[in-house]
Structure 1
Amino acid sequence: MARYHLLLELRDSHERLEYKINLTTAEENNPHLFFTHEAREQLRSQFQNQSQRRISDQNLNYILNSWIKDIKQGYRDTTISMTLPLLSGANIEDLSETGNHNFPPLFTPDLSGIEPQGGALPSLIFS
């Protein structure tokens, strides 16, 4: 079995995330067969847990395609640098507020008790 190492560098925070796998000879020759749906999701969840960054399907495909390409070429170490959004703010566009969205009832304010004080309004208006 051969050991392969993926290093993901986050550009904005300079974090370095690592992921290692062991491949058999058959998997080295066809690395795309190793990365089943379960293996892909395991990689995604490990990176997301380590970094608190969101890895979209597009980012995951880019990471895995680059790594598979390097494995096919015989490279044991692969380094990928990218920027990923924070996990906490990644789904902000999907936020839905379930509170009361009704406007309060409108009323006419009582202005009878309001008078100018200390020359706030010129005397010509009231003559």
Structure 2
Amino acid sequence: MKVLKTLIRVYVEDLDSGLSFYENLLGIKARSRFDYPEMKLELATVGDILLIAGSKEALKPFQNTNATFLVDSVEKFRNYLEQQGGKIIRGIKDVPTGWNMIVKHPDGAVIEYVEHFKEN
């Protein structure tokens, strides 16, 4: 059970302008970009920043989440976090990149846990 990467979430209404700003700021190109049509969102990662784009209405349900942890096993983290007093806000769900869940830590932080699909 391991946290592979921590991503800071930045919420924007326009992904193209957000990408341009953060790519220039960090001096690197986005390593991924994808649509999440079910939630009417577009997402991209630039370094350790996860840009989440959509209308104010589409973004509203996500803005209380403080960060995203990329992990090796969402299932193992679910079991561990429940034992440590975490509250599962939304259980394991299929998302465009693999599986995720939303957990409220005992300190009140709300974190998204994501396990990416295994590449062949």
Q: Same fold (TM over 0.5)?
A: no
TM-score normalised per structure 1: 0.22
Higher helix fraction: Structure 1 or Structure 2? 1
* Structure having greater relative contact order (Cα 8 Å, sep ≥ 6): 1
The structure with more radius of gyration: 1
Q: Which of the two has greater strand per residue?
A: 2
